[in-house]
Amino acid sequence: MTALLVIDMQNDYCHPDGVFAQAGLRVTGLDDLVRNVNTLAAAARSAGRPVIWVRMEWADDADVGLLAERSPFLRERGLRRGTWGGELVAGLDRAPGDHEIVKPRFDAFHRTGLDDLLRGLGAGTLVVAGVRTDFCVESTVRAAFFRDLKAVVPREAVAGYVEDLHRNSLRLMGTVFADVVSVDDAAKTLAAPGGGRCP
C-alpha cells in the first residue's frame, strides 16, 4: 500500500510572516505548493490511502538542540508547541481520519511513531511532499530508504528556500533513494490498485 506523507507545511516554514521568512528564507509559489499537495491528498483519499501530516515542533528552547547553534533565530522562537507558527498553513485540505506525526528533528522517523504507524497501515511505499526539499524531505526520504520503504517525490509538491539546493536535492534523491516524478504521476501511484510504483 502507498501512503501520502506531507512534511512541515507549517506557518513558520512557509508563511511570509513565519520565522524562516523573517530570517530571509522564503518559500516561493506557496499557493501552487498547497494546491499540488491538496491534489495528492484528494487522490490518496479517493483510493482509500492514508494521509499523514508531519509537523516539526519543540516544547521549549532546550528541545531545539544543535539546530539552535546552526540557526540562531530558532533559539527562542519558531516551531514552538501551541503557537501559530507550528500550525499547518491555511488552505490545506485536511480531513477526519488523517494521521499526524510530530517530530523534533528533520527526519520524520527520528524519535517519532512514524515507523510503527506505517507498518500498522501496511504501507510499503510513501509519496513524500512538503518542505524543505533539501532538509526535512530528503532526510525523511533517506530514512525511508534505509527501512526498505519505497519513496516517490512529486517535484511540484516539494519546495525549498534556495533553488540550487532544491534542484540538487531532487537530483540526488532520484539517483537511488526515490522516484522523482510529476504530481500527476504521483497521484496515479496513490490511486493505483495495490498502491504500487509510479507508471
Range 169-192 average pLDDT? 97
Q: What is the mean pLDDT of residues 3-25?
A: 95
Return d(Cα 139, Cα 158) in angstroms, integer. Answer: 13
In this model, does residue 75 exceed pLDDT 80?
Answer: no
Q: Is 14 a catalytic residue?
A: no
State the catalytic residue, choosing from 12, 103, 107, 150.
Answer: 103
Q: How many Å separate Cα 19 from the centre of its chain?
A: 18
Contact 4/50 with Cβ under 8 angstroms?
A: yes
Say whether pLDDT at 30 is over 90.
yes
Q: Distances from the Cα of 116 to the Cαs of 11, 14, 112, 113, 176, in angstroms?
A: 27, 28, 9, 5, 24
pLDDT at residue 197 tops 60:
no
For residue 95, give the C-alpha cell: 480531513
Mean pLDDT, residues 33-55 = 98
- Of the two residues 69 and 121, the one the predictor is more confident about is 121
What is the per-residue pLDDT for 198? 40
All domains in the chain, ordered by first residue: 2-191 (3.40.50.850)
Q: Are 132 and 160 in contact (CB under 8 A)?
A: yes
The active-site residue, picked from 12, 107, 136, 150, is 136
- Residue 199: pLDDT band (50, 70, 90) is very low
pLDDT of residue 45 exceeding 50, the answer is: yes
Can 8 be counted among the known catalytic residues? yes
Establish whether 17 is a catalytic residue. Answer: no
Closest CA to 23 of 97, 75, 92: 75
Is pLDDT of 74 > 80? no
Please tell me the pTM assigned to this model.
Answer: 0.93
